[in-house]
């Protein structure tokens, strides 16, 4: 995303407003816009980052990350895991779907402090980088997967306890 057009538009608006006051104001506006360019870019980046965070909150366990390459921001969208379609074979026990709060107090995002050893932190950052995710998005996805795996294990143990086993597929 090229921010230059937005910065130039703001510069033109400031020059137009200064012309209404007089030539001295126009000269002052021209001298002020060059040093303000970096502040304008930072403000735009803050707005884009806030928008990406809001979208991520609504998209969880997917995510939207704002990345900066040089002076230009770009968005990286990681979609949530796809749900099975009707064309895929049905399993006797459905896999649990991640519970995502959608309303009430549970829908608000919360912040936690997590203490990790440096080695574990480095490994998490490397895994997130390899997956093309932010560390936060990777941790959310990992926690969701772990919780769903625990639910699946509980369902399997209940099924075995009742003595009911079903198998489907081809045998050679």
Residues 38, 5 share a domain: yes
Domain boundary among 63, 80, 97: 80
**Alpha carbon distance 90, 168 (integer Å):** 10
**Contacts (Cβ under 8 Å, ≥6 apart) of 135:** 124, 125, 128
Residues 89, 168 share a domain: yes
From first to last of its 172 residues, the chain has per-residue pLDDT tens of: 778 888 888 888 888 888 888 888 888 888 888 788 888 888 888 888 888 888 888 777 788 888 888 878 888 888 777 765 566 555 555 444 445 444 444 456 777 888 888 899 899 999 989 888 888 888 888 888 888 876 655 555 555 545 556 656 666 5
Count: domains in the chain = 2
Assigned token pair, 83: 């749900």
* DSSP string across 28-57: HHHHHHHHHHHHHHHHHHHHHHHHHHHHHH
Residues 159, 115 share a domain: yes
Element housing 124 (H / E): helix 118-131
The boundaries of the domain holding residue 137 are 82-172
| Nearest C-alpha neighbor of 138 from the set 56, 75, 73 | 56
Please count the other Cβ atoms lying within 10 Å of the Cβ belonging to residue 133: 20
Alpha-carbon 100 to chain mean position: 15
Domain boundary among 80, 106, 132: 80
Residues 140, 104 share a domain: yes
């Amino acid at each position: 995303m090229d921010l230059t057009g937005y910065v130039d538009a703001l510069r033109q608006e400031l020059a137009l407003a200064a012309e209404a006051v007089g030539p001295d104001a126009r000269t002052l506006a021209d001298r002020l816009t060059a040093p303000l360019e970096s502040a304008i870019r930072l403000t735009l980046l803050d707005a884009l980052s806030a928008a990406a965070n809001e979208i991520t909150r609504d998209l969880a366990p997917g995510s939207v990350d704002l990345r900066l390459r040089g002076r230009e921001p770009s968005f990286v969208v990681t979609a949530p895991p796809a749900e099975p379609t009707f064309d895929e074979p049905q399993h006797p026990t459905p896999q649990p779907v991640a519970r995502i709060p959608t309303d009430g107090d549970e829908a608000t995002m919360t912040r936690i402090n997590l203490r990790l050893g440096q080695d574990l932190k480095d490994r998490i950052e490397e895994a997130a980088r390899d997956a093309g995710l932010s560390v936060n998005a990777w941790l959310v996805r990992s926690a969701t997967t772990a919780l769903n795996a625990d639910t699946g294990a509980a369902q399997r143990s209940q099924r075995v306890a009742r003595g009911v086993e079903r198998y489907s597929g081809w045998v050679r």
